[in-house]
Structure 1
């Protein structure tokens, strides 16, 4: 490693970004038992999907008409890549802004295009919150416009920053292992295991937050 962030470098020894292939690694890792119905893995995944469907339908409203499938697929993609990044020597694609922005920007852009073309008055009404004093209305329009524009950026940065933070901490602690005594190495291993458990929780939470916020943004334009 030339610097601390080298562990997130997508290039390989051949100067090719082959590490991005980790995104399709899941196709090889999915157990064949998943396709044997009924299986335990199948039951668990269907239960998760139905729970997510109910959650998204509540947020989007009765006019969702199957659009929950987009957000369930988004959740599945992010959570799988987050978990893959916790394994040794597997590239974490969700820690890069190029990946997270590629997910957030087209979603936000499609919501904006749909909203401004189909519900123009409704979109203008969102720029001024209810009960805003007349004097503050121009300022509120500016603030709401800026907050609307930076949404894809905040979605992308939130996911990538959370994934980078945990991985950096694990890398920093792991690099100190060679210079520690046997007693401190035992403490280090316990700390690393606890951090891995925390990172597993972060992997689930961040994918859920990304999907939930995307569905909330879509509910505003309907």
Structure 2
């Protein structure tokens, strides 16, 4: 019966308005007349679901495409949609959360998504490498300008450090002396002269001589 309907549909003329309905579907009256028995709309749809005035292809390929489309409509693609917006993950997470639960027919699309993600990452790596190159060049240029415009302070710093070290040593010695003398000042020490008064008098150089008289 199905082949009869297809053969009848093949005899329809796309230029003949009476063979078609207003929306381009085969007219049941025209098919009935060709076959010689009453044909319903559902029989025509079952025999050639996509057959219209604009699409008169009755080949097996059309039927296979129709079956494939119907099969794809039945596949749950929600997991694929979820995966497409996920951040990169470990392989174990991919297997447990997606591959095990997903229709195998969707795996090629998973591969396509991963390939695109890899391309994006590689492009970003190139951009980062270029940024790194520019920053390193700018750093080297700035270092060169510093050497040209700012004098080398190494010698000055060494002199300053030596002066500070000498000062610290003098202060340290002074502190040690103060501790030994018990707080006496150098001027106080000068006053402690063990010589007799006459010896101190003769020690002073005057116009009258500097020798002590002999007895």
Q: Output the TM-score relative to the length of structure 1.
A: 0.21
Name the structure, 1 or 2, with higher relative contact order (CA <8 Å, separation 6+).
1
More helix by share: 1
TM-score, normalising length from structure 2?
0.22
